[in-house]
């Protein structure tokens, strides 16, 4: 009587018509570790449809690792989607933990999930649209970001005060449009003498015209009162490539032309067309117990490639709990085109505590 047996090995299934609770929340766990929550409204032997606050998703069976629903009182249920005498008459059989069918539900009257291009896309489509419930849905984008603060106060043989603040947020629209804004501020005094006082704001927009290739656009403004840098304005546009974009590993690089205007105190402003290279890497180890990161930017005037500005950040992040992250980093800058009274090298060590989302 049963033509084929197709096992949906899942935590609990499914539709509002089963339990009669229309506002219950279903949780769908994907095999890649992502979690989606909402209402499972349709299903078939091909997959399920989930209505979530951040969109509607058609998800193939092969991507599903488990489903949990408060509409069932028996924990760890398994479901088998079976075809009866006709392929259009599938039956959903609920099994208790011992494997004995507890009841069967004829799914003929429940609308099936259409097999479409959206269903057959890779799991990257699902990750990019909504990785989990923590994503904010502001202006239709998935948001992520971080804020960090570090401070140090020392008294005794020498008095010192150090304060550092930085933050960054990124909006992602369907893994096609990505916008980032950020700011960084550092101030340090020793015996009432400022030894560091700099601030920077920046913004970027990336357009992904292929799965890994994107068009990169950036702009930044920086001041350094200790190095007598009144302003450094930079803008660049170029080609970027995203080698990896996973929860445990991200790696990308960009290359392209740009513009720089640099003004030091008591000197005329210098403007140049530039060549620009950036590199950004972060990787998690031991189930996200610790993360390593490194980012750098290299800028050189096109009319004299022997002059260049190198800025970098490298360090370790340790996620604590509830989004709280401890960071230890080294910032190293090298400018071989700095004025004579300004050091070419600038190294800063920071220990910070911050918060990340989602």
Write the pLDDT tens digit of every residue in 206-229: 999 998 999 999 999 999 998 889
- Tens digit of each residue's pLDDT (9 = 90 or more) over 233-258: 999 999 999 999 998 999 999 999 99
Tens-place pLDDT, residues 283-309? 999 989 999 999 999 999 999 888 899
pLDDT of residue 332: 94
240 exposure class (CB count in 10 Å sphere: 0-12, 13-18, 19+)? buried
Q: Is the pLDDT of residue 14 over 60?
A: no
DSSP code at position 34: -
Q: What is the pLDDT of residues 99-150, one digit of tens each?
A: 444 444 444 444 444 434 333 343 444 444 444 444 456 778 899 999 999 9
Quickly tell me which residue has 């890497």 as its tokens: 281
Going from the N-terminus, what domains does the chain have, and what CATH number goes with each?
4-129 (2.30.30.100), 137-357 (2.40.160.40)
259's enclosing H/E stretch is strand 249-264
Distant-in-sequence, close-in-space partners of 246: CB < 8 Å, separation ≥ 6: none
Distance (Å, whole) CA 276 – CA 219 = 12
202 touches 182 (CB < 8 A): yes
Vertex 44: Cα angle to 39 and 48 (nearest 5): 30
Q: Return d(Cα 41, Cα 57) in angstroms, integer.
A: 10
What average pLDDT does the segment 44-69 reach?
74
The secondary structure of residue 118, as a DSSP letter, is H
């Amino acid at each position: 009587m049963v033509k084929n047996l197709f096992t949906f090995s899942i935590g609990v299934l499914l539709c509002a018509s089963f339990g009669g609770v229309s506002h219950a929340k279903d949780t769908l766990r994907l095999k890649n570790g992502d979690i989606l929550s909402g209402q499972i409204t349709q299903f078939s032997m091909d997959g399920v449809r989930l209505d979530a606050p951040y969109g509607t998703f058609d998800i193939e069976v092969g991507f599903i690792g488990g489903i949990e629903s408060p509409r069932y009182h028996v924990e760890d249920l398994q479901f088998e989607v079976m075809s009866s005498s006709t392929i259009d008459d599938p039956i959903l059989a609920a099994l208790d933990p011992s494997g004995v069918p507890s009841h069967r539900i004829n799914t003929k009257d429940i609308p099936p999930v259409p097999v479409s291009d959206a269903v057959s896309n890779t799991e990257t489509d699902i990750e990019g649209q909504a990785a989990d419930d923590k994503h904010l849905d502001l202006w239709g984008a998935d948001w992520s970001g971080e804020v960090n603060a570090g401070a140090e106060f020392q008294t005794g043989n020498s008095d010192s005060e150090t304060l550092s603040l930085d933050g960054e947020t990124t909006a992602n629209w369907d893994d096609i449009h990505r916008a980032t804004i950020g700011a960084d501020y550092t101030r340090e005094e020793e015996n009432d003498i400022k030894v560091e006082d700099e601030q920077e704001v920046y913004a970027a927009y990336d357009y992904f015209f292929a799965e890994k290739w994107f068009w990169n656009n950036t702009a930044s403004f920086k001041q350094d009162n200790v190095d007598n840098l009144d302003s450094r304005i930079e803008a660049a546009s170029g080609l970027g490539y995203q080698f990896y974009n996973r929860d445990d590993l991200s790696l990308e690089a960009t290359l392209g032309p740009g513009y720089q205007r640099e003004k030091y105190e008591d000197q005329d402003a210098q403007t140049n067309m530039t060549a620009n290279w950036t590199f950004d890497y972060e990787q998690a180890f031991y189930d996200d117990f610790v993360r390593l990161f490194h980012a750098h930017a290299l800028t050189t005037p096109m009319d004299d490639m022997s002059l260049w500005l190198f800025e970098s950040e490298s360090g370790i992040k340790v996620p604590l709990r509830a989004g709280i992250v401890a960071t230890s980093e080294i910032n190293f800058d090298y400018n071989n085109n700095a004025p004579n009274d300004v050091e070419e090298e600038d190294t800063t060590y920071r220990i910070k505590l911050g918060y990340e989302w989602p």
